[in-house]
Structure 1
């Protein structure tokens, strides 16, 4: 054995054209995986092959391998990526398919009607049907013939091989019947039955199968047309994300404003966003204030207020005033690019059940071909009439459908990952969805996950005969505005938000700060002090002080002209949606566990507010990882939710890592699921969506397997007419895709949420 390090691997996506069923997928994967060191996963719904290969195997070599398998292949070209161009190409292909389908329908319907209704069969009707059927069997079915011939050149058979053979067999038998079997004589009438009778024509005249020769391509073309449009719908969320990008942005040089391409922006530059325009890229507002609609990017249902110092994401819509934004990220580093990349990666993946289905599909078509030949031989050997044997043989060819097997999982995953992105849930792939489905324990970080992660005003309590809350905040913030203490900044920020820009803070005079004590100043002629509590307080304020201590918050008192007028509680407050999220997880059978590096008192206080029974405080990153390992040893399926570098190890160790979208890149990189919104409200939605998705996949696979288990034997025993077999085959694929499309409109169930007091009363 020679030494040396293993060659490094890289991942390349290849767009594959011409695939129509799971057998095609299996064939492309087998061809690519035949290259040394190459592993490939091909998605039928997206038409993309994701290939992991050594660096010494070039992308062009991969393209050549796909082409050698008999399919078209091309590498994506970022320089020429144009969403409008792709839409134009899709529209052109759509028009071509529609035109072919229209002509085939125009020619086929008269043939089907005349063949099915004997009362309409006029003299020499069969020759008119022959003239109409010939172009359908040749030109209308040409895509099937072409792909079947290409497969034969590569010693492979696909769904197109079955359709092509069915059309050729039906039309060839009809030609024989017309010219040599007596069916071409004037005045011939042909009865029609839904079930083949096994009788060799009427009065010794061979039966015509022109209706099958035109019905098979008609129904298959119609089914694939509907299937393609439906599959396109499953990727609508990804295309909507792509359309959020801005091509040109307004920048201002002094007083001169000009438009520049988005590619010319760099970190640190500033640009303008007018009302109704999209934010060009991630940044921080430096001037102006407005409501910003981020629904399409983060899933937040309501616009959020953005002012100086607030972060905004590229793709969000400015719903109000003029904003000046400083760039913090460009190109692939933006949140929109990251979301798009994660959704694309998720849709390129493959669930375990789909790999099983693809393995079955790889041998499906050869088995069907063998069954059709066996059926023909059995019927002829049993002494049946020739046309009955041909009917059963053609029906077996046409009714078999590996398409549904290939589409069962990827269409559901595409719809689910797209819907998840709209709700603010990004998954790395089907394995993450499967992990969410089986989740039974979730380890939650506190700071930045269940709480806001920064100091803010939790409550303001005033004395009954003193100034009101708004006035107290205005005076306290005026004094604290000159302070650099975190408590002071929290009070000042809260006062400004409460005032909503109605009036500026008053000017403070004679400002002074006492370390460890507080601040003091004269505001509008009154002496205002914001200090730590160091004296007896009247009852309302004393109660507020005790509540703040119980919640592990910091309380300060406000004195005006020597009299205590209010107590302000400041702390890292629980996010508004955290209780609802934890409650919904518990109702889904997921046990919440709080693990934080914070002290015992704040951890217990937050756990009490949220109804979490198991608390681990003062946890180091190693202790969090050990906790996850211990829970796994108990047989639990564990997820970890975190947002910081200290959570990365636990995220990677857990069965499922879930990162907050506002967290660090390290945490997000170690996670399987990212919650784009600020809180964990979307976690319960992710669990329910995963369960619904996997239930949809199971239903699709049951239908795909069950359909073939039922219809192929019926065709073999002569109880299924070829034309009806074609219709059933087409409907099966469409039903699978339509069932998956239901996930696009999936809505989270609001459910009733109880407060801790209500839960205690109800014994919950």
Structure 2
């Protein structure tokens, strides 16, 4: 039966997908892919990431995988494919279900199963399961796609092999033309043998330059390989013409320059090998994280155990983790007591005790006893899975300056070819030496390097994203590196951010006619339905004191103020003094006269039926790492402020203890937005730290929103940056990461631009009449190769120079 192709059902608009694009060498290449894809009016945006060989495409209208594949091929590059094998579904049903995925190419029967083909890297298993349903079993199929590490490693091996071939052919060719080692041979024999060796060099190891140049030429463009092919091809053809004319009796036509052809080819291949090796080191960061994800999981069903691929595990399934094993997925401990090392997730080395009811994170390491766990997420939804996805997203980001680089790269090669031809013509016209003119033409073609421009920004972002994950800092938002670098003011929420988020009930202050037990029972009855830290503390306080929560219900959550509830038909108000005053409740200031905790007590007032019942006082201690993190931020020159809904006295006490510049208490969520707006309008660049849920509006409004709270914070859509672990200990590292990454990008671009600005005139012979300085084509090839290597090595230095400031 023939393969089914996508029919009338097509993907919906607004989707994002990643496409693997092979064959890109420089910023000009990525620019061509982006330009071709954007020619479609059904594509909203395209971001091409050169080191990852990926294009992230956002659709604005229905588009099929085959149409996307055709556009990439029209740009002169290629895609790859991957497939899944589907069980318990027929071909027609799979076709209908999968046609809405934009990567989808078609289905066909395969040995009793259905093979579904996609553009690589293809949809995740979670998306496939959502499209096909739980009844369909999904297995890995064939895939021609390689990950960044495997692909770059294969590229490295290919260039190394080609370099060996080029050396075996090129070194004898150079010795034949430039030394007297083979003078025993007739001159014609030496020259002829040199031509044969050089021709074989161009035909085999150096053929990659010509095939790539031809592919670009067919699609009306030029790139780095075009310059190499033009220079070596021109020199070889010129030498062949001179050799032929001399055999026909013509003399004085010039040199052969076969040595230049061989040396250019060898040195460019050598440079490409070094560059591939450096890029391999740059992309290994994510692979190292992925290696921590177990490939299989030991599933428990009754007394039976079975080891299955981790991708097959669903939420709700029980699995066993033996001592010393890495926990594969997030879940709840059902049986066993152990300690877990969560340093990969939180960056904290201390072991965390686990018992029945405890939550465990995928990626952490079990201690000395087995644990039976019920999975709460599948592999992609686990903590480590989400970390990997966020790191990959960050690596696909583009710095704002990349747009300028792309515009320059788009015209770079044609401009260089023009300069090369012009320099050759000028030297020929003014000196009459055709040999000298040809040397300068070749040197200009070889020395120009758009590769360094193309690698300057993305390699730095790739290294920064991977290094950030190891430091416990995840980058989420677009352009977050540049915006975080500009931050000069940091605003903190207090509860759960600066403090532990685990307050304790300190005192109960009943009003006239009420008792401690009554106000605690009513408060716990309302708050038992809330997840707010103060609510949990009140419920826990009732349990510790043996007080049964009253029959009460929460009617309304009032962000930044408290809650409104009901008990026995009467309205309850539970929250700060602003809430009660707003509803006309008269407060009794004498209740707080015995305030414990030296000003640190948070207050929760309770009223019933419009009358005050009493006051509950709670204390929330600072996190152990807070003082060091705040000090680290001050050392970076940042101005600090607290924006909190707690009363002003408590907020001020926290600010005084931490030496924070400004303290603003009793703020509603809208008040926090207004405060951030006023700071931004005053010319400050503000970062806001919060739990990613209650503080979502403020995180969205700030220049950089930073979510704190480990696993839960990763899902905060309003956050640009996430601090793993429970607390702000990694905050100085986050700002340091942004500053050093931005500096590395600028350094890389400076290296690339300055190199080309100096090298091209030098190769054209601009300084030769005055200073006698010039470059041979071989020297130009070496300089060009080292320029790309220097940019990648500069990015790698970023990873090595970032040491945890907060450790």
TM-score using structure 2 length: 0.75
Q: Write the deviation string for residues 241-299 of structure 1: whole angstroms up to 9, x where unpaired.
A: 22232232223333333323334433333221111211111112233232322233333
Aligned to 1:746: 801
Say which of 58, 69, 73 aligns to 1:67: 73
- Which aligned pairs between 1:426-465 and structure 2 lie closer than 5 A? 426-428=474-476, 431-455=479-503
Do the aligned partners of 2:632 and 2:805 also contact (CA within 8 Å) in 1? no
Structure 1 residue 735: Cα displacement: 0.8
Q: Which secondary structure does the structure 1 equivalent of 2:462 belong to?
A: helix
Say which of 28, 32, 35 aligns to 2:37: 32
Q: Which secondary structure does the structure 2 equivalent of 1:351 belong to?
A: coil
Q: 1:486 to 1:83 in 2, by over 3 A?
A: farther
What CA distance in whole angstroms lies between the structure 2 residues aligned with 1:162 and 1:232?
Answer: 25
Do the aligned partners of 2:733 and 2:806 also contact (CA within 8 Å) in 1? no
Say which of 548, 551, 554 aligns to 2:597: 548
Structure 1 residue 430: Cα displacement: 5.8
- Which aligned pairs between 1:260-409 and structure 2 lie closer than 5 A? 260-409=308-457
What CA distance in whole angstroms lies between the structure 1 residues aligned with 2:804 and 2:384?
Answer: 27
Higher mean C-alpha displacement, 110-119 vs 442-451: 110-119
Q: Which secondary structure does the structure 1 equivalent of 2:710 belong to?
A: coil
Say which of 212, 216, 222 aligns to 2:264: 216
Q: Which runs of 5+ in 2 are unaligned?
A: 1-11, 81-118, 125-139, 507-534, 551-593, 604-616, 769-773
Q: 1:666 to 1:107 in 2, by over 3 A?
A: closer
Aligned residues: 645
TM-score using structure 1 length: 0.79
- Which aligned pairs between 1:438-587 and structure 2 lie closer than 5 A? 438-455=486-503, 486=537, 548-552=597-601, 571-587=619-635
Aligned to 1:20: 25
Higher mean C-alpha displacement, 670-679 vs 253-262: 253-262
Q: Write the deviation string for residues 481-538 of structure 1: whole angstroms up to 9, x where unpaired.
A: xxx9948958999xxxxxxxxxxxxxxxxx976999xxxxxxxxxxxxxxxxxxxxxx
Do the aligned partners of 2:644 and 2:665 also contact (CA within 8 Å) in 1? yes
Do the aligned partners of 1:455 and 1:490 also contact (CA within 8 Å) in 2? no
Q: Which secondary structure does the structure 1 equivalent of 2:221 belong to?
A: coil
What CA distance in whole angstroms lies between the structure 2 residues aligned with 1:701 and 1:549?
Answer: 54
Q: Write the deviation string for residues 693-745 of structure 1: whole angstroms up to 9, x where unpaired.
A: 11111111111011111111111126111111111101100110011011222
What CA distance in whole angstroms lies between the structure 2 residues aligned with 1:154 and 1:488?
Answer: 70
Do the aligned partners of 2:267 and 2:785 also contact (CA within 8 Å) in 1? yes
Q: 1:367 to 1:292 in 2, by over 3 A?
A: same
Q: Which secondary structure does the structure 2 equivalent of 1:333 belong to?
A: coil
Q: Which secondary structure does the structure 2 equivalent of 1:352 belong to?
A: coil
Structure 1 residue 398: Cα displacement: 0.7
Do the aligned partners of 2:744 and 2:794 also contact (CA within 8 Å) in 1? yes
Do the aligned partners of 2:337 and 2:356 also contact (CA within 8 Å) in 1? yes
Q: 1:273 to 1:83 in 2, by over 3 A?
A: farther
Q: Write the deviation string for residues 340-380 of structure 1: whole angstroms up to 9, x where unpaired.
A: 12111111111111211111010000001111111222122
Say which of 206, 210, 215 aligns to 2:254: 206
Structure 1 residue 174: Cα displacement: 1.9
Structure 1 residue 684: Cα displacement: 0.7
What CA distance in whole angstroms lies between the structure 1 residues aligned with 2:630 and 2:248?
Answer: 75
What CA distance in whole angstroms lies between the structure 2 residues aligned with 1:121 and 1:401?
Answer: 38
Higher mean C-alpha displacement, 571-580 vs 243-252: 243-252
| Structure 1 position 670 matched with structure 2 position 718 | yes
Q: Which secondary structure does the structure 1 equivalent of 2:204 belong to?
A: helix
Q: 1:264 to 1:148 in 2, by over 3 A?
A: closer
Q: Write the deviation string for residues 423-442 of structure 1: whole angstroms up to 9, x where unpaired.
A: 11111256101111110011
Q: 1:492 to 1:452 in 2, by over 3 A?
A: farther
Structure 1 residue 143: Cα displacement: 0.8
Say which of 169, 172, 191 aligns to 1:107: 169
| Structure 1 position 160 matched with structure 2 position 215 | no
Structure 1 residue 73: Cα displacement: 1.6
Q: 1:167 to 1:601 in 2, by over 3 A?
A: same
Structure 1 residue 751: Cα displacement: 7.7
| Structure 1 position 632 matched with structure 2 position 638 | no
Q: Write the deviation string for residues 521-563 of structure 1: whole angstroms up to 9, x where unpaired.
A: xxxxxxxxxxxxxxxxxxxxxxxx9983343389xxxxxxxxx
Structure 1 residue 117: Cα displacement: 4.7
Do the aligned partners of 2:492 and 2:641 also contact (CA within 8 Å) in 1? yes
Structure 1 residue 663: Cα displacement: 7.0
Aligned to 1:9: 14
Q: Which secondary structure does the structure 2 equivalent of 1:382 belong to?
A: helix
Runs of 4+ in 1 over 6 A off after TM superposition: 81-85, 182-185, 490-493, 511-516
Q: 1:248 to 1:737 in 2, by over 3 A?
A: same
| Structure 1 position 658 matched with structure 2 position 701 | no
Q: 1:157 to 1:205 in 2, by over 3 A?
A: closer
Q: Which runs of 5+ in 1 are unaligned?
A: 1-6, 186-202, 459-483, 494-510, 517-544, 555-568, 753-764
More contact order relative to length (CA 8 Å, sep ≥ 6): 1
Aligned to 1:710: 758
Q: Which secondary structure does the structure 2 equivalent of 1:646 belong to?
A: coil
